[in-house]
Amino acid sequence: MLGRPALLLLALGFASACQGPVAPSTPPSRAASPAAAPASAASGQAAYVIAVLTGLLALDNDGRVIGRLAELPPQSFASGAMLHPAGRQIAFVLTNTSQGAQNGFGSDIYLVNADGSGLQRIVTHEKENTFYSGPAFDPSGRFLYFQRRSSVLRDGTPVTDDGIERLDLQSGERKPILPDGTDPTISPDGKTLVFVHLIRSQVDTLWVADTDGTSARPFFKVKDRFFYMQTPRFAPAGCQIVFSGAGRTLVNRTSAGSHSAHLGIPSEVYLSPCDGSSITTIGETFDDVTPVWSPDGTRVGFAIGGQVSQLTIATREVKKLAQSDAFSYGDLVWLR
């Protein structure tokens, strides 16, 4: 199966929708080393925060683990970390796999200050096998977008209900805005939402809509297709989107990447202008990644293989930072 470890657990949860909660079959990466023990000073030195199966880890400029950002509940794992536009808070998803979890197996969305303080849950799964993923702030920081996925019965058959919702962090108002979508990202001007469109809970392609969910339509003007794609991200300025994809098929031929994701399908990092008029490969990875823009918009970072990599957009040069045994992959936040 393609995708992040969180998606694997979601699939396990839905497969067991009528049988109760199921513990994850994929073991977490090796427990964080002693260097990743809780350390209040770590946040001040951190250049990155990474959400991994062992928690929220703070990394320095060289990609070395310098501590845990915050202590999380036992038998839970973090994913989908996203920095608030003001740089003071991080939203992330926490999936609790313990048998005694509130409302059963599922995931919630939390906020934590960038210094590790103020951990708070802002979205709670309301029933068994309900999951939240892909939190994304709008540029004002007032609204948080995210996917809700839940197992429901239709005509006696369990099916998956997917949709994107929006939470007003000031008023607390929450409402669904788009069906059949995941991985939302909001344009720098706050007017446009790009997301991964789903068909029967399977990845289709990127779509675009207004931020209230209206005028939803396919994003790309080119006819290229992908076996799998995830995590589109608007650049902090200008008009570009980066995303991770696998199995790209061009109009007349199949692209040939030199690295492979699951099932031997090429996995690459792609760049597209926000009008969807072209798709350019900017880097190859050996598995699906969650790209994140540098604050100045000149580079893209991702974590895989136990290290953080920086890809410079202008030159396509990839710089690999320190190797770590505290994680093998994760969702990266680029602080500075």
> pLDDT tens digit string along 176-224?
999 999 999 999 999 999 999 999 999 999 999 999 999 999 999 999 9
Spatial separation of the C-alpha atoms in residues 306 and 323, rounded to whole Å: 6
| Percent of the chain whose predicted confidence (pLDDT) is above 90 | 71
109-123, 154-168, 172-186, 279-293: the lowest-pLDDT one? 154-168
- CA 288 from centre of chain: 11
5 backbone dihedrals φ, ψ, rounded to 5°: -60, -30
Residue 115 or residue 8, greater confidence: 115
Q: For residue range 300-319, what is the model confidence (pLDDT) as tens digits?
A: 999 999 999 999 999 999 99
**Residue 99, pLDDT score:** 66
37-41, 63-67, 92-96: the lowest-pLDDT one? 37-41
Spatial separation of the C-alpha atoms in residues 34 and 54, rounded to whole Å: 13
Q: For residue range 3-53, what is the model confidence (pLDDT) as tens digits?
A: 444 444 443 343 333 333 333 323 333 333 333 444 444 556 899 999 999
CB 181 within 8 A of CB 201: no
Q: For residue range 150-175, what is the model confidence (pLDDT) as tens digits?
A: 987 777 788 889 999 999 999 999 99
- CA 303 from centre of chain: 12
CA diameter of the chain:
55
**Residue 4, pLDDT score:** 44
Put the strands of the sheet holding 217-218 in their side by side order: 181-186, 192-199, 202-210, 217-218
Contacts of 234 (CB under 8 A, 6+ apart): 185, 186, 187, 188, 194, 240, 241, 274
Spatial separation of the C-alpha atoms in residues 101 and 24, rounded to whole Å: 14
CB 158 within 8 A of CB 18: yes
Spatial separation of the C-alpha atoms in residues 194 and 211, rounded to whole Å: 9
Query: pLDDT confidence of 252, banded at 50, 70, 90?
Result: low
β-sheet bridge partners, residue 174? 167
Spatial separation of the C-alpha atoms in residues 111 and 177, rounded to whole Å: 22
Beta-sheet strands, E only, within 38-142? 48-52, 55-59, 65-70, 76-83, 89-96, 106-113, 120-123, 130-137
**Residue 31, pLDDT score:** 35
For 200: left if phi > 0, alpha if psi spans -120 to 50, otherwise beta; the answer is: left
Spatial separation of the C-alpha atoms in residues 139 and 121, rounded to whole Å: 21
Say whether 129 sits in a helix, a strand or coil: coil
Domain 5-334 falls in which CATH fold? Neuraminidase (2.120.10)
